[in-house]
Amino acid sequence: MATKLFLSHAHDEADLALSFANWLERAFSSPVEVICTSRPDHRVEAMVTEGIVKHLRDSKAVLSLLTPESIRGPWMYYEMGAAHALELGFFPCLARGLRFSDSPPQAREYQGVELYSADSVAKLVRALADRLQLGLADTIDAEAIAHRLS
């Protein structure tokens, strides 16, 4: 059975979130499924809060794709708080120019990463692998996803 990770993201940044989710699933040698509500099979239509909580409960960790756009919406904060309340591993993933100095205070309390270099992307993958006891893929194209996220 795959380890599930929940990827919190702004709806308007679905393409970026899908690219990141697909890349993450290939970064590990262990089976990983990234729950991304922009995927048709993970979409939440009715009872949004209940659907999000179910996805969170099914997950071992939450990655929050934080961008200048996403921090303006309320859902990111809801999902951050729910991850904390459910005692899930929480990893802020800063992209599209957002820096920790400009991020919400909630994000600064956790082991997060500004995803602007291959080294920082590799750091995130290693942290996830360590926390969740996942094997790493033989090769990880961290440079390509770092370029896409910046």
Domains, in order of start, for the chain = 3-149 (3.40.50.10140)
Which pLDDT belongs to residue 18? Answer: 96
Task: Evaluate if residue 31 carries a pLDDT over 70.
Answer: yes
Helix (H, G, I), strand (E, B) or coil at 124: helix
Task: Evaluate if residue 118 carries a pLDDT over 90.
Answer: yes
Confidence bin at 47 (pLDDT 50/70/90):
low
Q: How far apart (Å, rounded) are the C-alpha atoms in residues 105 and 66? A: 12
pTM of the predicted model over 0.95: no
> Edge-to-edge strands of the sheet including 3-8?
32-35, 3-8, 61-66, 89-94, 113-114
